[in-house]
A and B are shown apart, each in its own frame.
Chain A
Amino acid sequence: MRPLHLELCGIGPFAGTQRIDFASLDDRALFLIHGPTGQGKSFIFDVLCYALYADTPAGREDNLKSDYLSDGVEPYIDFKFSLGRDSYRVRRALPYNRPRKRGEGVTTTTEVQSLSILNPDGSEGEILADKKSEVNNLLKDLIGLDSRQFRQVVMIPQGDFRKLLLADSGERESLLERLFDTSFYLDVQDRIKEMEDESNLEEKSSADQIERLKGSLVDLWQAEDLSPSFYEEGALLIGDAENELKEKKALLSAADRAASRARDKAAAELAKAGELNKHHLRLEELKGLKRELELSEPIMLKLAEKLKRDSRALAIKDSFQELSSARNNAESAEDELKEANHRLEALLEQKKSLELRLQQAPGEKAHLEILSRRIPLYSGFRNDFHRRLSIQKKIDETQALLAALDVSRVKWQENKDTLSRREEEIACSLLELEALGSRETRAQLIHSLEELSGLHLTLTENEVKLAEARRIKEDSAGSLMRLKSRREVNLAGELAASLEDEKPCPVCGSIHHPSPAHPGDGSDPGEIEAAEGVLTEAESRFTALQTLITSDKKKIEELTVKIPGEDTGVNDVPERIRTLKEGLGTESVLLVERDAIRSVQLPELAAESERLTGRKEQKTQELKNLQGDLEEMGKRWNAALSNRPADDTEAPPSLEELPVLLGNWEDEKLQLTELLRLLDLEERGISEKIIAAETDTAVRKGQQKKNLENLARREKTFTEVLESSGFSDEEALETALKQAETTETDGSKLEEWQNRKNENVTMFEETIRNIAGRLRPDLSLFEREKSKTSELADGAARALAAAEEKLKKAQSLGKELKMLEEASREKALRNGVIRRLSGQLRGTMPPKISLNRFFLSRRLEEVLVQATLRLSLLSRGRFTLKRRDEGKTASARAGLDLLISDAWTGTERPVNTLSGGQLFMASLSLALGLADVVQARSGGVRLEALFIDEGFGTLDDEALQGVLQVLNNLRENRMVGVISHVPELKRQIADRIEVYRDEPGSALRMVSGG
């Protein structure tokens, strides 16, 4: 978790809005939070914790709201941070008193929380949660640490981290438990305990089972009265007992066989007696049956009679049926004939009424005729009304257009006049200008004037130069003279130098030389020559200039003559030039304008005039055409009206109504046409139908005649047959036929009776034979014998079965017992192991170190490895942190006791023997080691920021430098914040957050160095 931006208002000592932009610090920044004691440096961290976990630090359980907050200002914390590649924003607003919107007084708001994603460009993205519990849970998941872990690991707090160092092992164990998740190993402890419990239960139940089995076996033997030697205390002689049981069984088996045999014999005797008895009974039965049969003989005779009659009736059945059907046919044919006649009559009626109808037809036909002539007459004028209207409109438009054209013409004339005037003006101006001469002449004049001006200038220059040259000449002459005189002086000096007192001077001859000349600065001949040269040059220059001037003046004169006008003076010329040039310019402009008028504007006007004229002609013509059309149409209409047919009595229509009327007439025409067509069809249809019906009737008549003939024939035949069959009339025949329906069953009855009678006789004879003269036996004796022997046999069998069962049971119990005892022995070893393991894991068995503690000691070891690296650095190799591995208490044995190893003395001693500054270094090292390991072990938790609160005041300068070195190395890829009021640190750390007093309360500002 790396902080990006913190904004708060009205929280803790900060009354107003404060902002810290962590993002402006380097990713690996080491920065200092400083300020006077008590202003709120550590509080900043509390704010971060509240932002992430909504928990308040100890002592501020009431809310974080600042005491300096004014009413109506919302206190809030707005914290933006990044986790890996993602950025988030969490905002928590605390409840406060806000003035009511309506009415007097204040209302207290509720806490508002929100957590949202930040987009890469810094804008707020999706809101992830807005309820306190959701926000808290989500943040905890994202960061990977809970509030306690976070406080312990990310913030190395004043005094608190010494706890870890100075605590006793029990406290240290609980501290470590909170930081490292030992739940998995606790689960292992529990799971093994479960397994132990299970195996204990199993063991117990197995023992119980063995006891039970033994008990069952003993019961069994006791029941059998087996000798007690088979169950001696502690030993069961199962094999011997089984043998005894076997013997018993064999005896019972023999007894069983004997009893069975006796039983079987008695049963056989009984069976024989039973047979004889049966035969006797049967004989009686048969006698009874015979009597029955004899009783029913008369009925059977009658039945035979009936059967005969039936056959007679059946013989003529078919013919009878044929006759009946012929009678039916004739009847139905008669009915149908009647119907056909009815139909014919109906059709004839229809035709009559249709003919009446047709008499009306001619009137309608005539109307149809009229319509047929009217419609074509008028159809051509259907659209005339509208066309006339549109033509009129066009006429109006054209007239308007013509008026507009006239107006345009007037305007055009105005333009033309304006242009002509302008042309005249220009001509006048040009003439004026030309008065001064043609353009060329004037140009020429300007040229000459300019030349003259130039010459004036040259002359002036040369005159100046001449003056200069004169001066130079005079100067050089002067110089030369001076040089020459100096030379003379020199010579004099040279001479004077060679003068000696009392010797005459070669120049003046005197002997005394009171003030002889000095050699002084010599001028040598070279100098003089040079000066002479200079003079010559100056003189020639002077002369040359003079000549030049003369020629200039001459040139000016010549030129002046050539130029007309008086103003040729030096001062006049420029003015003249200027005036002339202006004139030329104006002239050019005017010429251009005149050209434009002539070559562009006037031709344009001419063209326009043509266009106007043309258009007017065109439009006039159009108007004429339109008006002609209108006249035409009127004429045609009148012609049509006069062509109306004479028999058309309706009034002539108006053009406006015409389209509608034409429509109506056309519809009417269609209707009439249709009607006439339908009537015609109907007429034809009826005629056809009548013809068909007449044909049908005729056919049926013929048919009927034939049917009746057929019927008469049949009647005759049948009467004969009936007589010969012995029936009196048809009715009698019908009755007989009805009765004959049961003829088959009756036949069977008779047959059966006959058969039974026969059978009876046969069986009677047989039974007599079987009895063979014997008497009927007394069955009860035999039965008694049989049941006695059966009982005995059953008893024997039961005894045998019981013995067998007992033997089997004894055998199976014996086997089971053996197996159980063996298994129990095997398990014993495993159970022992489980118990021991379970006890050791839970710390109840020696060496009494629970798995939990063991695990924590490993973690502590890791922490110490990391811590020792730093402590060694800080103490320049003197101190290392160690664990103690043996001791009296469980936690000591687990290796949670800490020792300091001092290389200087070669001894180990408890941690609380260190001095204040050494203690700081040790606890700082430990806390940093802890942070490293928590991060490595929390898989995915990345501590991209770390805070260290105070403690630096206990260090001397050397130690402080050492600690600063360690902190600097901490940075790797994280941001480290140091909270301290030590002034030296202010000078050595460039990036700072300063907490300062800002009545009321405090304020923050960020300072960046370099």
Chain B
Amino acid sequence: MLRILHLADLHLGRIFHGESLIEDQAHLLDQLIALTAKNPPDAVLLSGDIYDRALPPVEAVKLFDRLLSTLSDAGITVVAIPGNHDSAGRMAYAAGAWEKLGVHIRADYQRLDEPVNIKSRDGSSCDIFALPFVELTRDKSAFIKNAVESMMEARKNNAQNQPAILMAHEFVAGSTESGSERLYVGGSQSVSGELFEGFDYVALGHIHSAQRAGDETIRYAGSPMAYAFDEGSKEKGFLEIILDNGQLYPEVNFIPLKPFRSMEVLEDSLDNLLNNPDYKGLKNSYISARVTDPLSHMNLIGRLRERFPYLRELRQTALEPIAADNSRDSAALETPASVMSDFLNRTGWEDGDERNIAEELLSEALNSLEARQ
């Protein structure tokens, strides 16, 4: 029996509404390390987007260093692939040295058909195949198809016939983005789940909410914490996979992680936001405040931040423009006559004889101009 942990989309170093989340991320990794200490798994898989940027900040690098060192010291095998946010080249720094310590950073396409073999104490083993994020410049589906074929070849030649897991960082058709993923334009970004047939489990990264991508055994672990207010209410964590010789399918369990600070969206009047005792407990949470008052107030942000020091987003929903098409309508309705009428209003012509005369004069002028055209 093998027990493997599947994490993805750590996005170490991410900036959230202008502030760094490194503290929260450190808190998550501490939880993870504690869990692995209590019940060491046979392997930990990190399916991409380890960092949030190609050039991550120093704290993020230090955090990742700490994670890898701790797991390696505990003798837990780690396999990591770069995602679309990572710079694959930079991630592969000292990969050769790390490999000797049981941390496999697979950041290029040279060893696609060489799996990392995991063995459990009771002798069961499985192969982990690692497919880094396929860059935009390639024909994704064709590339993945070839890669999977070579992996299958390798499996066949290996007479042991043990289970195989594939790690990949892609957008599989049929899954739902959660909104905090990065936007890609052009090219074909989604791939079909059918490309991944033949593996006992596919450990995916890229989408920030945990879900199935079609099949039971093709899974996104989701990000270990929420990265947008819309995700704040969902449970975040990672997946635990149990491979048992006797069973046909691996068992997959969701393991939640407690966030350092919760994320809440509050939509209420200013008065309530400032005074309602219900909100007392949210002093330490990340808040997105949607103030419903129809009038603007002085120094909203200051006053709200007094109660909610971690206020990250402030909107006055009543004052925001609605993206209605009324501009188009007004374009259609505007006529020279209506413009003149508005002008008369603006220059103070009250209703009465004088206004009537003015309107007459204007329509005479308009007619003669139109006739001239």
Contact = CB atoms under 8 A, between A and B. Distances in A.
Contacts of A841: 343
A534 to B, nearest CB: 36
Given A188-B340, A195-B365, A937-B331, A872 B189 contact: no
B182 A905 contact: no
27 contacts: A192-B361, A833-B354, A833-B361, A836-B358, A854-B342, A858-B342, A862-B327, A876-B315, A877-B315, A880-B319, A904-B301, A905-B300, A957-B53, A958-B18, A961-B182, A961-B183, A968-B183, A987-B84, A988-B185, A990-B184, A990-B186, A991-B186, A1007-B137, A1009-B136, A1009-B186, A1010-B136, A1010-B189
A862 B369 contact: no
Interface centre among B137, B299, B347 (most CB of A within 10 A): B347
A208 B286 CA distance: 83
Contacts of B331: 862, 936-937
A855 B317 CA distance: 30
Given A188-B369, A904-B301, A30 B186 contact: yes
Interface string B156-170: 000000000000000
A847 B18 CA distance: 46
Which 7 A-B pairs give the minimum distances between C-beta atoms?
A: A1010-B187, A990-B187, A877-B315, A990-B186, A1009-B136, A904-B301, A1009-B187
B300 A906 contact: yes
Interface in B281-330: 296-302, 313-317, 319-321, 323, 327-328, 330
B227 to A, nearest CB: 11
A906 B297 contact: yes
B353 interface: yes
B366 interface: yes
A858 B339 contact: yes
Contacts of A855: 339
Contact of B314 (A847, A851, A903): A903
Tell me whether chain B's interface is mostly helix, strand or loop, or mixed: mixed
B301 A905 contact: yes
A23 to B, nearest CB: 15
Interface size class of B (residues with CB under 8 A): 35 or more
A276 B299 CA distance: 133
Interface string B44-57: 00000000111000
A837 interface: yes
Interface of A: 26, 29-31, 184-185, 187-188, 191-192, 195, 829-830, 832-834, 836-837, 840-841, 847, 849, 851, 854-855, 858, 862, 865-866, 868-869, 872, 876-878, 880, 901, 903-907, 933, 936-937, 956-958, 961, 964-965, 968, 983-984, 987-991, 1007-1010
Nearest to A196: B361
B316 to A, nearest CB: 5
Contact of A1009 (B15, B17, B137, B353): B137
A879 to B, nearest CB: 11
Given A862-B331, A906-B300, A1010-B188, A988 B346 contact: no
A988 B184 contact: yes
A855 B339 CA distance: 7
A872 B321 contact: yes
B84 to A, nearest CB: 7
B368 interface: yes
A184 B136 contact: no
Interface in B333-373: 334, 336, 339-340, 342-343, 346-348, 353-354, 357-358, 361-362, 364-366, 368-369
B183 A1008 contact: no
Contacts of B321: 865, 868-869, 872, 880
Interface string B163-200: 00000000000000000001111111100000000000
Contacts of B315: 876-878, 903
Given A869-B321, A907-B298, A990-B185, A849 B340 contact: no
A990 B136 contact: yes
Given A187-B369, A869-B321, A1010-B186, 5 more contacts: A832-B354, A847-B348, A862-B330, A906-B299, A961-B182
Contacts of A862: 327, 330-331
Contact of B365 (A31, A192, A880): A192
A989 B184 CA distance: 6
Contacts of B189: 1010
A878 B289 CA distance: 12
Contacts of B328: 936
Contacts of B342: 854, 858
B98 to A, nearest CB: 25
Given A937-B331, A1010-B140, A988 B187 contact: no
B139 interface: yes
A832 B355 CA distance: 12
A830 B314 contact: no
A581 B176 CA distance: 81
A834 B361 contact: yes
B186 A847 contact: no
A905 B297 CA distance: 7
Nearest to B84: A987
Given A26-B186, A847-B348, A833 B357 contact: yes
Contacts of A195: 361, 364-365
A868 B317 CA distance: 14
A834 B184 CA distance: 61
Interface centre among A877, A968, A1008 (most CB of B within 10 A): A877
Contacts of B137: 1007, 1009
Nearest to A31: B186
A829 B302 CA distance: 58
Interface centre among B313, B334, B346, B362 (most CB of A within 10 A): B346
A966 to B, nearest CB: 10
B139 A968 contact: no
Nearest to B180: A961
Given A188-B369, A865-B321, A984-B54, A989 B358 contact: no
Contacts of B15: 956-958
A956 B362 CA distance: 53
B84 A849 contact: no
Interface centre among B18, B188, B314 (most CB of A within 10 A): B314
Nearest to A971: B185
A756 to B, nearest CB: 87
A905 B339 contact: no
Contacts of B320: 872, 877, 880
Nearest to B137: A1009
Contacts of B183: 961, 964-965, 968, 988
A869 B343 CA distance: 26
